[in-house]
Amino acid sequence: MSLTALTSNDARLIEQGYPDTDSRAFRRCLGQYPTGVAVITARHNGKLLGMAVNSFAAVSLDPPLVLWSIRRESARAADFCEAEHLAVNVLSANQVQVSQWFGSAHPDRFQMAAWEPDAHGAPLLDGAIAHLECRRHAVLDGGDHFILLMRVERHASYQGEPLLFAQGQYAVTQSHPYVLASREATATAPASDVAVVPLLRLLSIANQRMSAQFQQHREALGLNTSSTRVLNKLGVGACSVEELERLTYLGHEAVEDTLADLQAHSYIAKDAAGRFELTRSGRDTNAAIAARSAAFAAGKLQGLSESDVAAAKRVLLALQDR
């Protein structure tokens, strides 16, 4: 079967293929669809269960049904499928660490995270932006996953921003520039409040534009945001897959894909302890991207007075502390 272009967007095409021949590329394509992150918990046969998932989805309002899917091969699949009561904890943007604890088989995750049991003993995590207490409704066949359909019996929402997962990495929500623009246009707030909105909007736009502009430097070296981040961390010292997951905020699969890619380019190799380290050409590439980054930053600041830059730094530092 020959590949034909899927759309007229050839210049923007990253990859295309067929799930049957390359399941990793298929998974990356699915990762283009952003999701939130939830930790599903339960107490089953006296055992606490908890797993970070991004397959959680709303299904029905009447009856109130939600679903998520679990890998058949997971050591905890049987326990989760048998549990009568389960809780969904929708994570906030401040809970990347919680996602990392529950996204691995970390033995102490229930000691590290603060929680209290619901009426059936399922852990409700502190800091989540929503809790849904559920009863198992059905377990369906989902290929290499089981689909757990659950009936929601009680729900609670809390203040906070959601944690997102998109393109293999953690992300946070940001109002679309159109939304901010329309807020400004209709703002009836006092002048002092209105003055703050354009500044924050400018910050967000500047950040997005500069990141997009720097992309050409990564591409020139055959890198993308994930491989740049992994090379950067390995520049400090050898790391295991788990350490890279924690340090780069990339998901497990994205780290594995990136390592496979970097290894294929001979930028990294495994050391005697099985950790990944930079090869000579990996160190050269890392130095090249660091040099481009420094030159890019210098170019951006060129022509600005020292006092302007110092004032901007003061404002940004002050904004972080408020």
Ligand X SMILES: Cc1cc2nc3c(=O)[nH]c(=O)nc-3n(C[C@H](O)[C@H](O)[C@H](O)COP(=O)(O)O)c2cc1C
The answer to the question of residue 104 lying near ligand X (CB under 6 A) is yes
The answer to the question of residue 38 lying near ligand X (CB under 6 A) is no
Cβ atoms < 10 Å from Cβ of 156? 11
The answer to the question of residue 51 lying near ligand X (CB under 6 A) is yes
The answer to the question of residue 167 lying near ligand X (CB under 6 A) is no
The answer to the question of residue 30 lying near ligand X (CB under 6 A) is no
Closest to ligand X by CB, 70 vs 152, is 70
Residue showing tokens 């950040």: 207
Residue 70 Cβ vs ligand X, minimum distance, rounded to whole Å: 4
CA angle, corner 295, sides to 285 and 225, nearest 5? Answer: 50
Closest to ligand X by CB, 103 vs 162, is 103
Residue 252 Cβ vs ligand X, minimum distance, rounded to whole Å: 6
The answer to the question of residue 54 lying near ligand X (CB under 6 A) is yes
Q: 242 and 206 in contact (C-beta within 8 Å)?
A: no
C-beta nearest to ligand X: residue: 103
Closest to ligand X by CB, 76 vs 137, is 76
Closest to ligand X by CB, 93 vs 221, is 93
Q: Work out which of 13, 105, 199, 206 binds ligand X, going by CB under 6 A.
A: 105
Closest to ligand X by CB, 39 vs 152, is 39
Q: List phi, psi (to 5°) of 140.
A: -110, 155
Q: Among 98-106, 236-244, 271-279, 296-304, which window interacts with ligand X (CB under 6 A)?
A: 98-106
Closest to ligand X by CB, 164 vs 223, is 164
Cβ atoms < 10 Å from Cβ of 78? 13
Q: Work out which of 31, 37, 90, 123 binds ligand X, going by CB under 6 A.
A: 37
The answer to the question of residue 215 lying near ligand X (CB under 6 A) is no
Closest to ligand X by CB, 74 vs 293, is 74
Q: Work out which of 30, 61, 75, 191 binds ligand X, going by CB under 6 A.
A: 75
Q: Work out which of 70, 86, 87, 128 binds ligand X, going by CB under 6 A.
A: 70
- Residue numbers at the binding site for ligand X (CB under 6 A): 37, 51-55, 69-71, 74-76, 99, 102-105, 165, 251
